[in-house]
């Protein structure tokens, strides 16, 4: 059973920063797709940042230029650095992964095999 565990959520002021972490059991997998998603009550889940085993990253327009997804393979952590936070970034954030495989496109409509339980981010203006 693969378990992803997020941490680092909390409260921040608009314009501030937060960094989310997700412990990922990468082991010896050389093929993967990983991402960060967020969801607010009454809204669907939004994919915001993706990273694949070829090193490609892509971002939703809503976070492009403000958020950065990175992978510390040695420490087996997926990070989401969030800068210039806005009140509309308030949401539950989830990390997700496919390990040992990757979709045709790591992003967009990709539905991951494994999900974390989420960490809350609240941004006040």
With CA atoms as reference, report the closest residue to 10 among 94, 90, 117: 90
DSSP letter string over the chain?
Answer: ---BEEE--EEEETT--EEEEEE---TT---EEEEEEEE-TTS--EEEEEEETTS-EEE-TTTTTTEEEEEETTTTEEEEEE-S--GGG-EEEEEEEEES---SSSSTT---SEEB--EEEEEE-
pLDDT of residue 42: 86
> What is the per-residue pLDDT across 3-61, written as a single tens digit (0 to 9) for each?
899 999 999 999 999 999 999 988 778 899 999 999 999 888 999 999 999 999 999 99
**Tokens 């539950």, located at residue:** 92
> What is the per-residue pLDDT across 46-102, written as a single tens digit (0 to 9) for each?
999 999 999 999 999 999 999 999 999 786 899 999 999 999 999 999 999 999 888
Burial pattern 11-21, b for ≥16 Cβ within 10 A else e, equals ebeeeeebebb
pLDDT of residue 108: 87
pLDDT of residue 22: 97
């Amino acid at each position: 059973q693969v378990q992803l565990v997020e941490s680092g959520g909390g409260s921040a002021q608009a314009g501030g920063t937060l960094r989310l972490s997700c412990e990922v059991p990468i082991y010896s997998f050389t093929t993967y797709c990983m991402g960060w998603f967020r969801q607010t009550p009454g809204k669907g889940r939004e994919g915001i940042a993706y990273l694949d085993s070829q090193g490609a990253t892509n971002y939703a327009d809503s976070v492009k230029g403000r958020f950065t997804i990175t992978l510390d393979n040695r420490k087996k952590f997926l990070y989401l650095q969030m800068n210039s936070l806005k009140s509309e970034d308030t949401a539950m954030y989830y990390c997700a992964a496919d390990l040992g495989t990757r979709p045709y496109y790591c992003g967009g409509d990709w539905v991951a095999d494994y999900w974390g339980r989420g960490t809350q981010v609240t941004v006040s203006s």
